[in-house]
Structure 1
Amino acid sequence: MTDNPHHHKTPSGKPRARSFGIGFDGTPGPFNAITDVAGVSVGYSTLISGDGPLVVGQGPVRTGVTAILPRPQADLATPVFAGIFSQNGNGELTGSHIVEETGAFNFPITVTNTHSCGVSRDGTLRWMSQVLPAALDSGWGLPVAAETYDGFLNDINGHHVTSGHVAEALDGAASGPIEEGSVGGGTGMIAFGFKAGSGTASRITEWQGRAYTVGAFVQANFGKRRNFTLRGLRAGLELVEPAIREGTPRAEKGSIIAVIATDAPFLPHQMKRLARRVPLGVAMTGGFGYHSSGDIFLAFSTANPDAALAPPGRIARAEFIPDSDIDPFFDAVVQGVEEAVLNAMVANEDMTGRDGNFVPALPKAWLEEKFG
């Protein structure tokens, strides 16, 4: 447990998992967020409007965009070493091919709903051409944009996310404590039959007398209720109610996007190794990577900027922690992802969307009874 208020409440006062006395492994950073990694910032654009029957193009709308800036705005053209891992590829993360090819990417990351992924990608390029035009003067941009499906609550075929909303999320990106739950791209998302969405956590890992930060951010939209596990408790077996209520029958469509950030010096193959550990954190909450779930994970390091942007014509040099010392960082990824998923669920409320489709929040009274 910790007395840090940022560990217990979001900036708007919503509870986080630790506020109910739930204990976690590892040591969180000051904000217990991906923004504990210096230079990383997060912004949201949240779209909530309308009620009642679905009218495509009009609503109801329950969606948004999340922006994650891996470096300060002025440095966004400088690549970060990175790796990706797809546990189950029933989803999309643009820019994945160049990450696989070069072990790096630049520009912001955006996360939104499935049918707005292209808009968020293109909106990022439009925004970059305005705020940092030199980054596109002599080359092309291949930004990272990811998605999960929110069509149970949202008019997903109405295409309500615009490049203006993408710019709003990017312009609003800030460091420090960040909101969680039904915000940004996570607005219309569901996990284990409970309202979920955006969640984050961080861990401090020491190596050779120096403290490094590993931050996790998830857009959680996955899992069957029967599998839900909270710190080893098979909670789904006793949480049959409150249940989802369907005005329109729901197809099983769920995914999770996770972004791991660290200031530890690692090479691209090591970032891929960190990304491969994300599913272990997801599994600790009961996520098993079912067929329809796009479980796609990105990890990046803000270290070694000179090597990541190495000019041609001379030898480039990068520092890195040896593979033989990487295990504590694997711990940090697993611990951070587990807590980020639970934060996305706890910092939430009931939501009714299109056609009266209703998704309950994880019951706070039950959390108090079990952990308070």
Structure 2
Amino acid sequence: MRLNLLLLFCLLNLSVSAQMRPRELGIKIGVLPTGKLNAITDVAGVRVGQVTLIEGADIRTGVTAIIPHSGNLFQEKVPAAIYIGNGFGKLAGFSQVEELGTIETPVVLTNTLNVPTASDAIIDWTLGQKGNENVRSVNPVVGETNDAFLNDIRGRHVKKEHVLNALAQAEGGAVQEGNVGAGTGTVCFGWKGGIGTSSRVLSQKLGGYTVGVLVQTNFGGVLKVNGVPVGEELGKYSFKESLDKSSDGSCMMIIATDAPLDARNLKRLAKRVMLGMAQTGGIAANGSGDYVIAFSTANRVLHEAAEPTFSASYLHNDYVSPLFLAAIESTEEAIINSLFMAKTSEGTQRHKVEELPKDKVLEIMRKYGRLKK
């Protein structure tokens, strides 16, 4: 009995050293329920694959791939849209998605200088799929953030085989967060950032649709956690002492839904994702590449049409507002998840980025009455 009490005492007084998601620690963001996994993969058919590169003292980078469905994506494209919050970035594939309203390849995230490599790999992957023997044009969609503070980015260590491996590993189920994949070398609000994901499920009265978001966080501002000014309380935020570039970086935000949205309403949905980023204190700074890529799995657009016209059902404008709220909440939580799940990392030139001090964050949350004591 005495041993059990001692063990319980130790457990209750342990610091939050292990990586735990905010919800596991009592921080509930938003009012809508999450999906079973609280991840982008709660949208049926969506798969995620990641390759993490940590080698020696200098390599801290990787690849994250998101595949909308398990079929031939080039032959069965998905409705899509891209919204640019701030365009200091190197997103590949934007113009064709903007023009045609579809995505025909997986979405791959990596670092800034490896966008061409990832594009090349996606082209190989697409041309190699059965049924694509006569394909002569491919529009790879590749997003990035700059991980040069922790990673030897000039070494361009992400190779085609790494991207192809991420695509081959892509699966449904739980998604790793924090220092993984394309988030291995990122920095967010001055702390270690990374990959984060979250989801929301609407009630049947609101359509029963699922919205999932995955983020690659590498930006700055003044951190807020569920409305609490954590960055201010910790005394760590952009422009605290001088005009610098601490707010620069970038954030890639991928949003998937099974709601039957066309490209126009997907663009509207993507715009709301930026509101979720703002909820966390992000400011879309001058040097930040903040992009939202939105797609729907509800309808597929055939590459080769047998008839000149086709029919599909799409959600009426009057019914999309609940999806907007789901997008905002999922984005906010995905960003916070990326911070809570990241670990302290040391990289190139002995640069070191500390993980978010979660014990202190929880104290602050209690102070503001946003966490049970």
The TM-score bracket by the shorter chain reads: 0.7 to 0.9
Counterpart in the other structure of 2:291: 296
Specify the SS of the correspondent of 1:147: strand
- 1:216 touches 1:261 (CA, 8 Å); kept in 2? yes
Cα shift at 1:310: 6.5
Secondary structure in structure 2 of the residue aligned to 1:238: helix
Q: CA–CA distance in 1 between the matches of 2:20 and 2:333?
A: 13
Moved more, 195-204 or 136-145: 136-145
**Structure 1 residue 129, shift from structure 2 partner:** 2.6
Q: What is the CA-CA distance between 1:368 and the residue it aligns to?
A: 3.5
Confirm whether residue 233 of structure 1 aligns to residue 228 of structure 2: yes
Please list the CA deviations of residues 44-101 of structure 1 after superposition, one character each: whole Å capped at 9, or x if unmatched.
01000112xxxxxxxx100001000011154553100011110110002211111111
Provide the rounded CA distance (Å) in 2 between the counterparts of 1:252 and 1:282: 13
CA distance in structure 1 between the aligned counterparts of 2:25 and 2:276, rounded to whole angstroms: 20
Q: Supply the AA of the counterpart residue of 1:346.
A: F
Question: 1:194 corresponds to which residue?
Answer: 191
| Aligned-pair CA distance for 1:17 | 1.5
Name stretches of at least 5 consecutive residues in structure 1 with no aligned partner: 1-12, 52-59, 244-248
- One-letter amino acid of the structure 1 residue matched with residue 27 of structure 2: I
What are the Cα deviations for residues 173-212 of structure 1, in whole angstroms up to 9, with x where unaligned?
Answer: 0101110001001100011001011000000023557411
Matching residue of 2:215:
218
DSSP 3-state at the match of 2:158: coil
Matched residue of 1:295: which SS? strand
Aligned length: 343
Name the SS of the counterpart of 2:154 in structure 1. Answer: helix
Which residue of structure 2 aligns with residue 18 of structure 1? 23
Which deviates the most, 316-325 or 329-338? 316-325
Asked if residue 265 in structure 1 is aligned to residue 260 in structure 2, the reply is yes
Q: Which has the larger radius of gyration?
A: 2
Residue 62 (structure 1) aligned to one of 60, 63, 67? 60
d(CA) in 1 for partners of 2:253 and 2:277? 10
Aligned mates of 1:139, 1:36 — CA distance in 2: 34
Do the aligned partners of residues 288 and 303 (structure 1) sit closer, same or farther apart at CA in structure 2, a change above 3 Å counting?
same
The alignment status of 1:151 with 2:148, answered yes or no, reads: yes
| Residues 304/242 of structure 1: CA separation in 2 closer, same or farther (3 Å cut) | closer
Give a deviation string over 1:108-133, Cα, whole Å, max 9, x none: 11000000011111111112233x14
CA distance in 2, matches of 1:312, 1:148: 40
- Asked if structure 1 preserves the Cα contact closer than 8 Å seen for 2:215 and 2:335, the reply is yes
Identical residues among aligned pairs (%): 40
Change (3 A) 1:121 1:145: same
**Distance (Å, rounded) in 2 between the aligned partners of 1:329 and 1:241:** 33
Q: Distance in 2 between matches of 1:317 and 1:242?
A: 50
1:30 maps to 36
Amino acid at match of 1:259: I
Deviation digits for residues 226-269 of structure 1 (CA, Å, limit 9, x no counterpart): x11111111111213699xxxxx987640001010001101110
* CA RMSD after TM alignment: 2.0
**Would you say the 8 A contact 1:104–1:308 is kept in 2?**
no
Distance 1:329 1:252, change over 3 A: closer
Q: Is the 8 A contact 2:199 2:211 kept in 1?
A: yes
Partner residue of 2:359 out of 347, 354, 365? 365
> In 1, Cα distance between the equivalents of 2:362 and 2:145?
30
Q: 2:105 aligns with which of 104, 107, 111?
A: 107
SS at match of 1:120: helix
Unaligned 5+ segments in structure 2 are: 1-17, 239-243, 366-370
The residue aligned with 2:12 is none
TM-score of the pair, normalised by structure 1: 0.88
Whether the 8 Å contact between 2:87 and 2:291 is mirrored in structure 1 is yes
**Matched AA of 1:237:** E
TM-score (norm 2): 0.88
Residue matched to 2:7: none
**Which one of 46, 51, 71 corresponds to residue 45 of structure 1?**
51
Quick one: distance in 1 between partners of 2:133 and 2:249? 35
Question: Which of 313, 319, 331 is the aligned partner of 2:307?
Answer: 313
Amino acid at match of 1:142: N
| One-letter identity of the residue aligned with 1:143 | P
